[in-house]
A and B are shown apart, each in its own frame.
Chain A
C-alpha cells in the first residue's frame, strides 16, 4: 500500500465512522428511570444485630439447601451468596471489635443479596432475555427456561450477584428475586418479614428512600421509632384482618404483619444512602456507620454500565450504517489492492 492509498483508506474509514455517529444521536441512551411502583429493600447496617434470621428465612422461602463451610456440618454457614444461598450476612471485623458500626477496632454486619438495579447490567448483557426487569415492581427476575448458560450476567454485574451452579449437571443462575413468587399471596420478601429489628425493610423504594433520609437526619442517640417488616406509605392502609380490624388474618402471627413499629435510639450513620445514585440507582438501599467500600460495596458512578455500553453499541451499530460504511471502505481498499497477476490485468499495471 503506498502512502496515497493509505490516506484514502483512512479518510474513507473516518468518514464512515463520523457518518455512523452523526446519523443516530437518538440512540444515545440515558440511565433508565425507576418504575414508579418499584419495590425494594432498605438495609440498615446500624440496626442489624447479625442474627441471620433473614438467611434462614430466605432459604426456607426459596427452598434452598444448606451450605456448609465448617468441618462439623451442623449449621448453615455460607461464606458468600452462591448457587445455594441467595442472601447472606457478612461481618466486617477490625482490631479488637469493641464497638459496633465503627471502622477502627469495631465491627459491622452487612447484607449481601441482589441490589435490583434500576438499570441492571445483567438484563442488558443477557442475550436471550432470561434476565428481565419487571416493568411494574422493578424486580430483576430470572427465567431458567430461557437461559442458555452463557454467564454474561455473572460477568456484567458490578456487585457479583448472579451465581452459576457449576456443580449441577443442569446448571442455572441463582439470584435473589425479592420473593416475587410470594407476592401473589400478599406476602413480601422473607428476609424483611422475619427481621427482628427492621434492619431489612421491605416496601416501595420511594417510601424506603424517605425512611432512609429520615434516619440520616436523626442525631445519634436521639429517640425515635423504627418500622419493621413491610413499610407502607402513611396513606396506604395496611391490609390486615377483617374490615372491623380484628379478624383472623391478624392472628397469623409472624407470617405477616405489615405495621410493626418499635421505639429505639438512632445510631451513628454515614451521610450516604448507598444505592440512591450508585450505578443509576438500585432498589435495595443501604445505610451504614462504616464506609461501604469496607463492607464490600464498590464506589460506583451514577451512570449505569448498561447505559454506557448500550449507547456505545447502539451508536456503532445504529441502523447498521456504520458497519455498512466500514464494510464499503474495506471492500474499496481490498479491491484497490487486488493485483491481477495473469496477463488480462495488464491494462491496469
Chain B
C-alpha cells in the first residue's frame, strides 16, 4: 500500500521529509505506525501522510497544572523514527512550559498571541489536575490560577485533550483526602473532553489521537469517559500475555516464588489488569520493548489509568473482575446432549410396537389357558 502511494506523493513526501530532516522512508513508517495504533484499515497511512504534509501545522497549547511532567517526559521518549522531531514539527507547539525556550512574560505573551492568532483552531492539551478547593488557590502560573487559565484557554480551543490520569480524572493528586480538591478537566469545564488516562499514558495513544484529529479533522471515537476507543476499549486482562496462566489457575503468590519466576499470572499479587481499560498489553510502552510494561516485567498492574482503581485501591489488593459475562462456549445449566435421529426414533417405535403386540398376545393367551382346562374338568 505504501509503495503505490509513494508514487503519487513522492514530491510532497520529499518536501515534508526535508522539513523534518528525516528521510522519506522514515516519514512513511511513522504514518503507517500511527495508522496501526489507531486500528485504521490499510491505506489510512496515505491519508495520514497527506495530512501531515500540509504546511499548516495546527497550533498546540500545552498546559501544566498539578502534575509531575511524566506525561511530557514519556512523550519525548517515544522513539519511532525521530518522533520527537515529528511531533514538534508536525504540530506547532506554541506553549509548553517544559519545552519552550521562552520564560516569564515572553512565555505568557507566546500563549496569548497563539490563542489570538489561532482562535477556534488550536488544540489544547492539559497535563495535570486542577485544584478547585478554596477557589483554586493551590496552583498558579504567571499569576493566574489554574482553573482560570484552563477556562480561558479552553474557551476558543478546537479540541481539548486531557493528557494523563491527573487531567483525565484527578489522578494521584486527587487521592483521598484530596485537600486541594484536585479535579479532572471535564469536571472543571463541565463538558466532556477527550481523555488519555495513564500514569503516564502510552505516548502513542496521545500521538494517534492528535494525528487522527489532523487527518480527519475530528477526534477519534470515544467512550462515556472520553477515552478513545481504539486504545481504551478493552480491559488489559483480555489480551494479557499472562492470561493463559490465569485461565489455568497458575498464579504467583509472592514476589520471587516459583510461580513468579515462571511468569505465572499476577492476579493474586493484586494485578488490576482485570478492571483496567487500556491497551498496555497490546502495544509496547515507549519503544523499550514488549517485555517492559509492568505486567511483563513481573509487577502487577496498578490500574493507573482507571478512576477508582489507580491511586485509590491498595496496589496489592485483589482486583474486581470486569466483563465476565459467560462466553458462548460455556455450557448452560441444562445442556441437551445427543441427538435423536429418525432411524433411532423409528427403531425405538418398532421395538415399542413389538412389545405392545407381544403383551397383547400374551394377555390373550393367558385368558385361553384359563379356558382350556375347563372342558377337561367336565370330562
Contact = CB atoms under 8 A, between A and B. Distances in A.
Interface residues of A, number: 47
B342 interface: no
B289 interface: no
B30 interface: no
A75 B331 CA distance: 13
Interface string A91-128: 11100010010000001011000000000000000000
B24 to A, nearest CB: 44
Nearest to A296: B333
B247 A51 contact: yes
Interface in A39-58: 49-54, 56-57
A255 interface: yes
14 contacts: A52-B247, A53-B246, A53-B248, A56-B247, A57-B248, A70-B329, A79-B331, A79-B337, A88-B331, A97-B326, A251-B258, A253-B257, A253-B264, A263-B318
Contacts of A193: 249
Contacts of B334: 296
Which of A250, A253, A257 has its CB near the most chain B CB atoms (within 10 A)?
Answer: A253
A107 to B, nearest CB: 6
A260 interface: yes
Interface string A260-294: 10111100000000000000000000000000001
B227 interface: no
Interface stretch (A14-22, A138-146, A194-202, A330-338): A194-202
Contacts of A89: 330
A255 B258 contact: yes
B317 A107 contact: no
A22 B61 CA distance: 99
A91 B331 contact: yes
A170 interface: no
Given A80-B337, A253-B260, A56 B248 contact: yes
A329 interface: no
B321 interface: yes
B332 A91 contact: yes
A10 interface: no
B331 A51 contact: no
Contacts of B324: 49-50, 100
Nearest to B274: A49
B268 interface: yes
Interface in B233-254: 246-254
A313 interface: no
Which interface residue of B260, B326, B329 has the most chain A CB atoms within 10 A?
A: B326
B253 A257 contact: yes
Given A196-B267, A254-B264, A77 B329 contact: yes
A52 B324 CA distance: 12
Contacts of A100: 324-325
Interface of B: 246-254, 256-260, 264-265, 267-268, 314, 317-318, 320-321, 324-326, 329-335, 337
B285 to A, nearest CB: 26
Contacts of A91: 326, 330-333
B247 A295 contact: no
Nearest to B248: A56
Nearest to B316: A262
A264 B257 CA distance: 24
B128 to A, nearest CB: 31
Contacts of B246: 51, 53, 196
Contact of B326 (A50, A57, A70): A50
Nearest to B331: A79
Contact of B250 (A78, A109, A194): A194
B252 A253 contact: yes
A224 interface: no
A140 B248 CA distance: 26
A50 B332 CA distance: 12
B204 to A, nearest CB: 30
A90 B337 contact: no
Contacts of B258: 251-255
Nearest to B325: A97
Given A79-B335, A255-B258, 10 more contacts: A50-B324, A50-B326, A88-B331, A91-B326, A196-B246, A196-B251, A262-B317, A263-B314, A296-B333, A296-B334
A53 B249 contact: yes
Given A100-B324, A253-B260, A262-B317, A75 B329 contact: yes
A53 B247 contact: yes
A254 B251 CA distance: 6
Nearest to A294: B333
A83 to B, nearest CB: 12
Closest 3 interchain pairs by CB?
A194-B249, A53-B249, A91-B326
For B267, B321, B330, which residue has the most chain A Cβ atoms within 10 angstroms? B330
Contacts of B253: 253-254, 257, 260
B333 A253 contact: no
A228 B314 CA distance: 19
A192 to B, nearest CB: 10
Contacts of B264: 253-254
B249 A92 contact: no
B272 to A, nearest CB: 13
A69 interface: yes
Nearest to B330: A91
